[in-house]
Amino acid sequence: MGNERVRREYLSEDQDLSQQQYFGERIVTTVRFSTDPRDIGWVRENVPCQAACPADTNIPGYIRTIVEGRYGRSYELNRIANILPGVLGRICSRPCEPVCRHGWPGNGKPVSICHLKRSAATLKTESHRISEHLYTPTSRRVAIVGGGPAGIAAAHDLSILGHSVTIYEREARAGGMLRYGIPRFRLPRGMLDIEVQNATRMGVTVQTGVTIGTNEDEVPLSDLLNQFDAVLLATGCMAAMPLPLRDQNTDQDLVAQLPNAEYGLDFLLDLHRGKTKTVGQRVAVVGAGFTALDCARVARRLGAEAVSIHIRTSENYIPVMDEEILEAKREGIPIRGLRTPVALQIDDNGVGTGICFVQNRLGGWRASGRREAIPIPGSEFTEPFDTLLVAIGQRTVNDYLDVPVELDRWSNIRIGEDDMTSVKGLFATGDFVSGASTVIEAIGHGRETAVKLDSWLMGRVRQHKVVRIEPVDKPVRERQFDFIERQNMPTAAVADRFGRMNTEVEQGLDADHSLAEAKRCYLCYLKYEIDVDNCIYCRACIEVAPRDCIKLVKGVAINDDGTYGELDETGVWRDAAAIWVDNDECIRCGACYKVCPTRCISITKNEIITQDI
Amino acid sequence: MIPQQPVYLEDKVDEIRQSGRLDYRSQALPTWCPGCGYYSVTEGLANALNDLQAPKENTVVVSGIGCASRFPFFMDTYGFHTLHGRALPVATGIKVANEKLTVVAIGGDGDGFAIGGGHIPHTARRNVDITYILFDNGIYGLTKGQVSPTSAIGFTTPTSPFANRDAPLNPLLMLLSYGASWVGQAYAGWSHHLADLIRQALEHRGFSYLHVLSPCVTFDKTDRTYQNLDLAVRELDTDHDSSDLALAMQAATDTSTPALGLYYTSQRETLGQALDQVALRAGAAAESASLG
Amino acid sequence: MAKQTDIQISICGSAGDGTIAVGDIFKRAMARAGYRVIAFDHYPAEIRGFGKCIARTRVATSRVYSMKGYSDVLVSLNDMHAIPHVGEVRNYGALIYDSAPMSAVAEGAHISGHLKPGHIPYAFPMREVSELATGANRSRNFVALGFVAGLYQLPQDTFHHAIAAKFESKAAAVTKSALAAFDSGFEAGAASYQFDDVRIDAPRGRKNAHEAHMMTGNGAIVQGCLDAGIETFFGYPITPATGIMERLAVEMPRRGGRLVQTEDEIAAISATIGAGYAGSRAATATSGPGLSLMTEMMGLGVMAEVPVVIFVSQRGGPSTGLPTKTEQSDLNLAVWGGHGDAKRIVLAPTNVEGCRRCAGRAFEIAEQFQVPVIVLIDLYLSNRYETVFLQDENECLPKNWKHSTTPGAGYRRYELTSDGVSPRCIPGEAGGIHTATGLEHDEYGNPSDNSRTHSLMTEKRHEKLQAAIKYPGINFTKRFGDSGKVEVGLLTWGSTFGETLEAMLLAQKEGIRCAAMKVVMLSPFPVRPVLRFYKDCQQILVPELNYTGQFAKLLSSEIVLPVTRISHTTGAPLDVNILLETIRRAARKHRRHHNAA
Amino acid sequence: MPSSMHHVVLGHGIAGNHAASVIREREPDSRITIVSAGALLFYNRYDLPDVFRGRHQWVDYLVHPPEYYESQNIALRRKTRVVELDTQTQTLSLAHRETLHYDKLLIATGGRAYIPERLLDNTDLMNNFHNFRVAMQTQRSVRKNGTVIMLGGDVMGLDLARTIIAAGHRVIVALDNRTFWPHEVAQNERPRYLQALENMGLDVRDHGRVDHIEVGNSKGPARRVLFEDGSEIRGDIVMPFFGLVPAVDFLATSGIDMERGILVSPQLQTARDNIWAAGDVCQIWSTTSNAYRFYYGYRNVKMMGEVAAYNMTGEQSAFESTVDETLEVTSKGTLHSPFWEFD
C-alpha cells in the first residue's frame, strides 16, 4: 500500500531486510531476537503472570493458543516450562493470578490462568504428540535422589540435555507429594501417571522402592557419588513439624503418643500408600496450609460429621487459594481463627479428649510473608475432639546422608550459587533446600538446578534467555472480551462428594467456557508501539482508546537495571515529544491501530525464549 | 507489516527535543478533530521552519475562516487570524510592509476557492513572496460538512442531498495558469513528504502554492478518507521536469491518481522586487534630471 | 385527569459526544408521545475540540413558552463540562452519570463528588454498556438516552421510531448500533430503582399527538417557505441560518423547487434578486455578517422593486462575534441598514409557529408590495424546538400580484398609482417588456436624474409599504394578560417574547396587574396599536437581547414616550426570574407613587 | 492545623452518621466526607419494615433533610464504592477511578447478610431487605395475603416477621443453627423460644439444611425451597436471615487486621494509624471475655460511632456496651430482643 511504500522510503532507508521471509508478495514476518535489558525488562514488567511464575511459563502464549483452538500447542507451551501441565492445572498455588493485570483495581477479576492450563491438557486431541528437542548424548551420568516434582523436573531437563539420568525413589511409584500427599479428589492419578511418564521417558531410569540411606538394605549416598558424574538430592520435606505445646513442655511428642491424634502429613501418606484410615465424629484439624485443608476434607469423606480447622491468624492470611477455602466451607468445614494450641486434654486411658487454645491477636509480618499471631494471656479455652490432626508444617530429613555435607543453622543443607553442596558433584534442589514450598516452586527450582548442573558437567553455559520479538499483522483482541466475567470452575454437588471418596471436586471448564475465559486474557505479551518518526500527533488513537492507555509524553524514566520506568506525561503541546502507548493501561484492543492516519502503530509479540549459545 | 528497527522511547524523545522542532509549537493543544490532516501540516510546517532555522519572530502565519482559522494559534510564531477568504490580501500587506518576514498564508479549499477565490489569481500574478498552504479536504468542516469547490461530483452532503453535480475545480491547473511560480502537491498521510515540500516552498523566492490533500475525518467518512487517498496518491514520475510548465499542467490533469511532489518552479520578479525596481527607476529618473 | 408534568432535562457533554443528537431524539420522541415540548441547545464554536454542549429540553403536559431557569434532571456525558451545571438541578432532582470513566481522575474531578445532598444519583457504566452493546464507546449518548427513557418508563417504541427517523439517510448499521445502545441503556435504566425524584406522567391524550412534530424556528421557516411554494433559493452556509438551507435542499427539489449553494452571500443575494425579477418565489437565508454583505444588493431590490425574501437569524455580534450565541442586535441593520433611502419590510416572529406563518406570508407580502422582505429571527428561535402540529392547513395564497390590466405598448413597470404599487410583469409575458435597474428611473424604468422623478419615486417606494401594516391573516401586534389599565406593560419583539410571557403570567399569579404586547412587524411600524397599549400601561418595560436597546430606540423614533429598557447581552436567552424581579420592582414603584399621590 | 484535617467516614449507617455529626460538634472547621454506596441520605434501617405498613415514600425515611448536610458542612458522596485502601499514602481508590485522601478514616461499612456457602448459587432467587430499594422490591413481590419463607431467622428477620404478619401475610421460618442470631440459645432453652415464635404467629418448620431453591411453577407461588431431607416449602419470596458478616471485601489488600471483621482495640482503633472502625463491621477486643467479639443493635452501634468520633478527635475513651443482650420471652409469651430497640 502507498503509505507503506512511503514508509520504506522516508522512514527506514537503513532497514535490514535480510531476515524477512517472503510468502508470495507479502512479507510474512521479520523476527528480532534481543538481549537488550529494556526489551527483557519490558516482558518482565508487562507480563506480570510470567514474571511471577517460578517456572517462567509463557502464559499469554498458551492462553492465546486456546483462543485459536490449538489446545495441543497450548499444552506444549506449558510443558516446555512446567513439565506437568495437567497436574499443575489442578493443584498449582497460582502465584500468577494475584498479579494478573485483569485483576488490577478497576479491571475486574484476574484470568483463571490455572484452570486454562487444565483445559489445554484435557481438551487436546487424543492423538496429541509431545515434542522434545533433544541434545546429543553426552555420556555423562546423573543420579537423582527423590522422584518428587523437583526431581522429575530436573531429570526431564537433564535427559533432554543429553545426560543419562537415574531417579532413586523410596516409594513404590514416582511422584512424591503429588502422589502421596494430595488427595485424589483434588488430583486424579491418571493424569499424574501420564505426565510423570512423559517427563521421564527420554532415557530416565526410575528405580522405585530404593531408599538411599545408611541402614542395610539401603543404598549409601557415597556409592552413588562414586558411580555417577553428579548426584542431585531432591528429597523434599517429608517429615511433619512437631506440635509445640506451651503448657506441656514434655520432651516426648504427645501427638505421636495419643491413639486418636496424628500428624496430617503421615495421615495423608498412609492413606495414599493404601492404608485404611478412620476418624471419629468430631475432628479438629490444627494448621493453615493445603495439608490441613486436605486432612479436613478427607476426614469429612471418611464420615466425620463435625470437622473444624483451627488457625493461628485468620483466613485472610493463610497461604491457600480462596476456592479451596470456599469448597471446604461448602463441605461444612468451619475455619476458626486467632487461636494457638497450648495443651492437650488427655483422659485416664491416655486418649485425647480436647485441645486447649489461647486466643491470639494479630502481630506484625514475618520475613516469610506470614502473619504473626500474639497470644493473649488468660484467654485460654478448650475445643473437644474425637480425632486430632496436626498439620502445622513440614521439614527436611537429612540423616540419610553418609558423606559430610555442610548444613546451615536450621540444619538445612547449604548450597552455593551453582546449587552444588560442599561436596563436589553433589547438588541439591527443591523443598529439600528451601523448606516446604509449592509444587511449581519445586519444579522451577528443579529446572534451574538442572541447567546449572549441566553447565558444571559440560564446563560451560549452554543456554541463555532472549526476547523473541515478532511483528503481529493485526490486533488479535477485541475490547468486548474485557466484559466477559471470570468463568467459575464447576464443582461436584456437595452431596455427591462424600459417597465416593475420589470424586474430583473441580470438574474442569468445557471448551466453550475455556474459550470465554481465554478471551479475557489481555495477552500482555503484545506490545503496541508508536513510530514517533511517522506520528503527526493527531491524537486519533487517544480519541478511540477505551482507557487512559495512550499518552502525550515528555519522556520516560529509566530504572537502575536499564528497564523502563514511569512515563512522564504532559498536557503542553510544546512538551509533547511523543505519543506513546502506556503498556500498563493497554488492554491490547487494537482500536488505535485501526485509526492511525499514518499507520505508525505497530504490534509485536514479545516472548522470553531459551536459546543455545 | 513492515519490520521496524527497535525504537527506544528515551532515545527517540531526546532526538526530537534536541532537534528543536517542538519550539515552533504553542502551549495549547490543537483543537482539530483527532486524526485531522491539519496536524500533519502543523508538524510539517514546524519541521520545515526548524530545518531552515527560520527565526520564530520573523515568521508570520496568516489564516482566514474555516478549520484553518485557528492554525496560527497552534504555532509559536507571529500569526494573524483574518476574515473568511481574506487571508491572502492581508498576507500581501504584511509582506509588502516588511520583506524580511517569512509569511505563510494557510486556508482551506472553501476559504481559498469559494469566498476567497477572487484573491488567488492576483496574489499569484503579482508573485508576492509568500507561501500559501491550501488544505484541501473537499468539504466545509466548520459549517459541518457541506460541499466545497473541490468536492467530487456525486458527493452527498446536507446541501447536496441528491449528490453534488458541480464539477470540482482543478486547483493545480488554476494556479499553474494563474502564473504561480512554485506549485506543489502533498498529502497529509505522507507526513515526511509533506514536511519536505513545505521546506522547499518556504525556500522558494516568490509565490509558492502548496496544495495539501487531506480527508475530513469528521464529515467525510466515505469519499476522501485516508484509506482511499492512500490507495489513490502516487509520487510524481522520477523523470518529471519541474521547469516545464506544459509538463506540469499535463501532470496536473491527473486527478484520479494525484501525483505528489513539486510540479513547477520558476524564478521571476516578485512584487517586492518589482516595487524595488519602480523605486530604482524613479530614483534614476530624478538623477538624470539633475544632470541635465 | 392526568397530573401536571413540567420537567426540564439537560444532557451535558463534550462536542463530539453526540449530546445534541440525542437531545434531538429525546424531544422528538416526547413530542410524538403527546407532550408539549420546548428545547434549546447550547453548543460551542469548535466542531470538535471538546467544547461544551448542553441539550436542554422542557417537557410539559400543557403549553410552555420558554425554558425553565433550573433543571429537574441532568445527564452528564462529560463530567468536566457537567460539574459547573450540577447547581442548576433542583432539590430531589436527579443526576445521571458514568460510574466507570475511561481514565483515573484526580480528587474532585468526578461528578459524584459534586452532587448536592438533595440530588438523587443514578450512576451506571455508560461507556462499558455502550461498548458491550455496540463494540465502541461512541454510543454512550444513546446509552444515556436509553437510561433516561428506561428509568422514567417512557415509551420505548416511540424512541425507536425517533432514532430510526434520525438515521433515515445513514447506513443501516448506524441505526442498528444506535438502537442497540439505546436498548441496553433502557434496560439498565428500567432495572435501576427509581426514587420518585422526577415523575413524567402521561400527557393529556391529544387525538392528533401522532401529528405532533418538534420543529425549530429554522424548520418552521422552511415549512413556511414550502407553504408558500418557494421556487428558488440561493444561500451560503452560516451559523445559525445554515439549517434553513440544509432542510430546503432536501425539500425543495421534491416539489420542483431549485436550490443553489453559492460561493458567498454576495452571490446568494444577487441570484435571489435575479430569480425574483424573473417572477419566482425566491429567498435566501443568512445571519448578521451575511446580511452586512447583502445590504448593498438589497438596495438594488428596493430600487428595482424586486420581491425577494431574506431570512436573517441573528447571533452575537459585532463582527464574527459569538457565532453560537443568541442576540437581538441586528434590528438596526435589518430596518435601516444599507445606503440610500432603502425602506424594506421587516417581520420578526416570536415563536416557532410564528416563524412558519411569517415565512409563508413574507412571500405574499413581498409580491404584494414588490419589495425585499426580511424575516428577522435569532439563534435562540432558529434552534429552539417547540411542538407544532403539522395538520394545520396551509393558509398561503398562490402567486398573485397587481398585474397590468393592459399590457403592451406604453406599459409602465413603475407606474405611479394611488397605493404606490405598480402593475408588474415578469420575463416571459408578452407586452410586459421593461428594464429593472438600480439607477433612479421613471415610470417606464428608464434611467432619470430628474429631481421631481426622484422625489416622487422615493415617496412611492415608501408610501406603498404603509398598507402592509393592515395585511390580513397575521397579527403584527398582539396583546396578552390583563385587559384595561395595568400597572406594568411589557412591550417586546422576537424570541424574547416567550420569556416575557412566562414572566408576565408569574407576575399575574402574584397579583400584579400586567399585560404584554408583542410587535411582529418592525418596518413599517404599526404605530396605532402600540400607542393604544401605551395608554393602558402605567409604565412600559422593554426587554430585549441587545445592549443599545435597538427596539426601544425604534419605538421612540416612532412614538415619543418614555420606556424602561431591560438590556440583556449574555448571549443566552433572557432569564425569566430576572425579568419577574424587574416587574415586581416596577409594580412596587408604581404603588409607592400611587399611595403617595 | 485542624481546619485542613479531612475526616472520611466510610458507610452511611447509624454509626457513620452519628460519628460524622459528633466530629462536626467537636471540630467545627475540619473537613468531613461521608462515603456511601447507597443512593439515599441517611435513613434508619430499623424503620424499613414500615414498607409493609404502606410507607413507600423514601423521603419519609430520611433522618435529616438535605439542608442538614449543607448546614453541617458534611460532604456526602453517594453511589460511591471504595475498591482499595492504601494506608501508606492514606488514600482511598473509588470504583469510578477517583482517589480520595483522608487524614482520619472511620470504617463503618456495617454488615451484609450472610449467605451460607451452599446457597451461593441461589442468591438470585432470594430477596433481601438491607436497604430501602430492596425493601420496596421485596414488599412488592409479596402477593396480597401471600407467603414469605424466612430461612434461618435471625433477630432482624424476626423483627421484620412481626411486621409482615401484621400486614396480613404468612411467614414460614425454616430453622437453622443461626436462628435467633446473634443470640445464643442453649439447646435445652430452644423449645421455649420456638414456642414464643409460634405465639407470635410465625409458622415454624425444622427441616434441617436447605439443599437448594427453585422457581415455582406458573400457577403456584414463585419459589420452592427444597431441603436435604427431601421436604419442600412454597412461598412468594424467600428471605435469607442467617445473621450478618462484616462488609470488608474492599480491605483485602489494605493490610488492615481482620479475622471475620476488622480487629479493633476497645478504643475502636485498628492496627493502622489514623484508622478507626465502628458498627457491625468491627470485632472489638473485650477485656471481659478476653476475645474479639461483635456488638449489635442500634444502641451499641450508635455508641461505637460516638466513641470513634471522640477518639478521632483526640480522646482515648473505650467502648463499653450497656446493652443487656439476653433474648427474653415476655409475659405475653412472645419474644423480645434488645436489638429491636432503637431511639
Closest CA relative to residue A144, chosen from A67, A208, A77, A78: A208
The pLDDT of residue C58: 95
For the CA atoms of chain B, what is the radius of gyration? Answer: 20
Mean pLDDT of chain C: 91
D264 contacts D312 by C-beta, under 8 angstroms: no
Mutate to test the interface with D, among A323, A326, A359, A365 (most CBs of D within 10 A): A359
Q: In which domain, by residue range, is C291 found? A: 214-389
C-alpha cell at B191: 507526513
Closest CA relative to residue C228, chosen from C354, C368, C362, C426: C362
The residues facing C235 across adjacent strands are C261
Instruction: Tell me if D79 and C106 make a contact (CB, 8 A cut-off).
Output: no
The pLDDT of residue A2: 33
C436 belongs to a structural domain = no
pLDDT band at A23 (very low <50, low <70, confident <90, very high): very low
On whether both C246 and C198 belong to a single domain, the answer is no
The pLDDT of A18-23, averaged and rounded, is: 40
Bridge pairing between strands C120-124 and C212-216 = unpaired
Question: Which residues, other chains included, contact B245 with Cβ-Cβ below 8 Å and sequence gap of 6+?
Answer: B176, B264, B266
The pLDDT of B113-127, averaged and rounded, is: 91
End position of a domain, from candidates C389, C420, C437: C389
pLDDT band at C468 (very low <50, low <70, confident <90, very high): very high
Chain C residues in contact with A547 by the CB 8 A cut-off are 102-103
Residue C136 CA neighbour count, 13 Å, CB half: 14
A229 contacts A425 by C-beta, under 8 angstroms: yes
pLDDT band at B73 (very low <50, low <70, confident <90, very high): confident
C515 contacts C538 by C-beta, under 8 angstroms: no
- pLDDT tens digits, A221-236: 999 999 999 999 999 9
- pLDDT tens digits, A129-156: 998 989 999 999 999 999 999 999 999 9
Hey, is A398 helix, strand or coil? coil
Report how far apart the first and last C-alpha atoms of chain A are (Å, whole number).
Answer: 39
Pick the CATH number of A529-612 from 3.40.50.410, 3.40.1280.10, 3.40.50.10540, 3.30.70.20: 3.30.70.20
Angle, alpha carbons A122-A123-A129 (nearest 5°): 85
Query: Cell 479475557 sits at which residue?
Result: A520
What's the gap in Å between the CA of C264 and the closest CA on chain B? 5
B12 belongs to a structural domain = no
Query: Over 50: is that where the pLDDT of B1 sits?
Result: no
Query: Over 50: is that where the pLDDT of A4 sits?
Result: no
- pLDDT tens digits, A153-198: 999 999 999 999 999 999 999 999 999 999 999 999 999 999 999 9
- pLDDT tens digits, B153-192: 999 999 999 999 999 999 999 999 999 999 999 999 999 9
Residue B268: CB atoms within 10 Å: 12
In this predicted complex, what is the ipTM?
0.73
Closest CA relative to residue C149, chosen from C101, C111, C96, C70: C96
On whether both C227 and C343 belong to a single domain, the answer is yes
Q: What share of chain B is helix, strand, coil (3-state, %, to 5)?
A: 40, 15, 40
Largest CA distance in chain C: 86
- pLDDT tens digits, B192-215: 999 999 999 999 999 999 999 999
Residues in chain C whose Cβ is within 8 Å of chain D: 91-92, 98-101, 103-110, 112-113, 115-118, 120-123, 193, 195-196
CATH 3.30.70.20 range(s) for chain A read 529-612
Q: What is the C-alpha separation between A66 and A514, in angstroms, rounded?
A: 8
pLDDT band at B289 (very low <50, low <70, confident <90, very high): low
CATH number for the domain spanning C498: value is 3.40.50.920
Identity (one letter) of the amino acid at D34? I
Q: What is the C-alpha separation between C50 and C60, in angstroms, rounded?
A: 31
The pLDDT of residue A589: 86
Peptide bond into D65 cis (omega under 30): no
C429 belongs to a structural domain = no
CATH 3.50.50.60 range(s) for chain A read 141-238+396-465, 241-390
Residue A231: CB atoms within 10 Å: 28
Note the Cα A376 to chain centre separation in Å: 37
The Cα-based distances of A173 to A157, A166, A206, A224 in angstroms read 20, 14, 9, 20
Cβ density class C520-535: b for 16+ within 10 Å, e for less: bbbbbbbeebbeebbe
Number of domains in chain B: 1
The pLDDT of residue C551: 96
D257 touches A at CB < 8 Å = yes
Peptide bond into C240 cis (omega under 30): yes
What's the gap in Å between the CA of C199 and the closest CA on chain D? 13
Q: What is the C-alpha separation between C246 and C219, in angstroms, rounded?
A: 10
Q: What is the C-alpha separation between C250 and C168, in angstroms, rounded?
A: 13
8-state DSSP, B138: S
The Cα-based distances of C373 to C277, C285, C335 in angstroms read 14, 12, 10
D174 contacts D152 by C-beta, under 8 angstroms: yes
pLDDT band at C481 (very low <50, low <70, confident <90, very high): very high
Q: What percent of chain A has pLDDT above 90?
A: 72
- pLDDT tens digits, C529-544: 999 999 999 999 999 9
End position of a domain, from candidates C190, C206, C222: C206
The pLDDT of A55-74, averaged and rounded, is: 95
Identity (one letter) of the amino acid at B131? T
- pLDDT tens digits, A476-491: 888 888 889 999 999 9
Q: Do chains A and D touch (3 or more CB pairs under 8 A)?
A: yes
pLDDT tens for chain D, 343 residues long, are: 445 799 999 999 999 999 999 999 999 999 999 999 999 999 988 999 999 999 998 889 999 999 999 999 999 999 999 988 999 999 999 999 899 999 999 999 999 999 998 898 899 999 999 999 999 999 999 999 999 999 999 999 999 999 999 999 999 999 998 999 999 898 899 999 999 999 999 999 999 888 899 998 888 889 999 998 889 999 999 999 999 999 998 887 788 888 889 999 999 999 899 999 999 999 999 888 888 999 999 999 999 999 999 999 999 999 999 888 899 999 999 999 999 988 7
Chain A residues in contact with B224 by the CB 8 A cut-off are none
pLDDT band at C2 (very low <50, low <70, confident <90, very high): very low
The pLDDT of residue A3: 35
C-alpha cell at C337: 441598514
C348 contacts C212 by C-beta, under 8 angstroms: no
Identity (one letter) of the amino acid at C404? S
C438 belongs to a structural domain = no
When CB atoms are compared, the residue of D67, D98, D136 closest to C109 is D98
On whether both C183 and C249 belong to a single domain, the answer is no
B133 belongs to a structural domain = yes
For the CA atoms of chain D, what is the radius of gyration? Answer: 21
Mean pLDDT of chain B: 90
Closest CA relative to residue B258, chosen from B216, B220, B228, B222: B228
The pLDDT of residue A11: 28
B6 belongs to a structural domain = no
D68 touches C at CB < 8 Å = yes
Residue D170: CB atoms within 10 Å: 17
Residues 292-351 (C) with a CB less than 8 A from some CB of B: 320
Domains of chain D: 2-110+247-312 (3.50.50.60), 113-243 (3.50.50.60)
**Which residue in chain D is spatially nearest to A365 when comparing CA positions?**
D255
Q: What is the C-alpha separation between B164 and D41, in angstroms, rounded?
A: 59
Give the least confident one: B145-154, C160-169, C423-432, D224-233: C423-432
Query: Over 70: is that where the pLDDT of C205 sits?
Result: no
Closest CA relative to residue A158, chosen from A221, A223, A191, A205: A205
Q: What is the C-alpha separation between A296 and A306, in angstroms, rounded?
A: 10
D40 touches C at CB < 8 Å = yes
**Which residue in chain A is spatially nearest to C105 when comparing CA positions?**
A548
C462 belongs to a structural domain = no
- pLDDT tens digits, C58-70: 999 888 899 888 9
Domain spanning A141-238+396-465: which superfamily?
Answer: FAD/NAD(P)-binding domain (3.50.50.60)
**Which residue in chain C is spatially nearest to B114 when comparing CA positions?**
C263
Query: Over 50: is that where the pLDDT of A12 sits?
Result: no
C15 belongs to a structural domain = yes
Number of domains in chain C: 3
What's the gap in Å between the CA of A543 and the closest CA on chain C? 10
B109 contacts B102 by C-beta, under 8 angstroms: no
C397 belongs to a structural domain = no
The pLDDT of B81-85, averaged and rounded, is: 84
Q: Is the four-CA dihedral A592, A598, A599, A601 of positive or negative sign?
A: negative
What's the gap in Å between the CA of D123 and the closest CA on chain A? 15
On whether both C146 and C188 belong to a single domain, the answer is yes
C131 contacts C137 by C-beta, under 8 angstroms: yes
- pLDDT tens digits, A324-377: 999 999 998 999 999 999 999 999 999 999 999 999 988 888 887 788 899 999
Closest CA relative to residue D237, chosen from D168, D149, D158, D154: D149
On whether both C29 and C48 belong to a single domain, the answer is yes
The pLDDT of residue A355: 95
Burial of A529 (0-12, 13-18, 19+ CB in 10 A): middle
Residue C110: CB atoms within 10 Å: 27
Look at the domain A241-390 and name its fold. Answer: FAD/NAD(P)-binding domain (3.50.50)
The pLDDT of residue C85: 95
Q: What is the 3-state secondary structure (H, E, C) of A9-58?
A: HHCCCCCCCCCCEEECCEEEECCEEECCHHHHHHHHHHCHHHHHCCCCCC
Note the Cα C593 to chain centre separation in Å: 39
The pLDDT of residue B286: 60
Q: What is the 3-state secondary structure (H, E, C) of A422-464?
A: CCCCEEECCHHHHCCCCHHHHHHHHHHHHHHHHHHHHCCCCEE
The pLDDT of C84-113, averaged and rounded, is: 91
The pLDDT of residue D341: 87
Angle, alpha carbons B117-B121-B126 (nearest 5°): 140
B171 belongs to a structural domain = yes
B201 touches A at CB < 8 Å = no
Hey, is D204 helix, strand or coil? strand
What's the gap in Å between the CA of D96 and the closest CA on chain C? 5
What are the residue ranges of helices labelled H in C103-254?
126-134, 140-151, 156-166, 172-191, 217-227, 242-254
Question: Which residues, other chains included, contact D303 with Cβ-Cβ below 8 Å and sequence gap of 6+?
Answer: D319, D321, D322
CATH number for the domain spanning B259: value is 3.40.50.970
Pick the CATH number of A30-130+467-520 from 2.60.40, 3.40.50, 1.10.1060, 1.10.3470: 1.10.1060
The pLDDT of residue A21: 40
Query: Cell 486418636 sits at which residue?
Result: A260
A172 contacts A453 by C-beta, under 8 angstroms: no
